[in-house]
Amino acid sequence: MGYGGGGLSHRLSAGPRWMSFDPALLRQSWPAPSHPKPIVTIGAGSIVVDAHFPAYRKAGFPIAGVYDIDAPRAKSVADKFGVSKVFGSLDEALATDAIFDLATPPGAHRSVLERVPVGSGVLIQKPMGGDLDQATQILKVCRDRKLSRSGEFPATLRADDARNQRRARSEAFSDGSSM
């Protein structure tokens, strides 16, 4: 296929006139689960206070409890959000039939995941690991333990990667050569 003659690239560049769908009609929400599984949060840092617990409350998801190695911090967060259970240990938290929200530092994800019950649902906070090797090891643990996982990938890393790729291309061709 060439670039001329009305090919796909030409039609896409035509902009909104060519678009035959209304983005406002795209589904922006899904039906709530009829019996949502409770959530146990491992970690009680600022992301839990500023984002996770407010979002869970807004969505109507039950919070089964919170665990943090800093027990007074976990109690403070639980009190703030009316969460009745503060787990005294990671093992106690992981003994709950729940979805596990790992709001832990990247270096702690793997050791927690290795203890999560096989077949559990987990939400892994960004970044998934400190580097690609750590993230790959974490993915292997999730697969080996059959964990249903969801994770976040920060837009800042994608933007940094794009800048680094542009810089590398620029440096590669700075000697006057061209593609």
Confidence class of residue 157 from pLDDT cuts 50, 70 and 90? very low
Whether the CB-CB separation of 134 and 106 falls below 8 Å is answered with yes
Please check whether residue 55 lies inside any domain of the structure.
yes
d(CA 176, CA 173): 6
Confidence class of residue 171 from pLDDT cuts 50, 70 and 90? low
Confidence class of residue 166 from pLDDT cuts 50, 70 and 90? low
CATH classification at residue 52: 3.40.50.720
Note the pLDDT tens digit of each residue in 69-119: 999 999 999 999 999 999 999 999 999 999 999 999 988 999 999 999 999
Please check whether residue 20 lies inside any domain of the structure.
no
Q: What pTM was estimated for this model as a whole? A: 0.69
The residue segments making up the domain with residue 130 are: 35-171
Number of structural domains, the chain?
A: 1
Closest C-alpha among 63, 48, 64, 42 to residue 111 = 42
Identify the pLDDT of residue 151.
Answer: 62
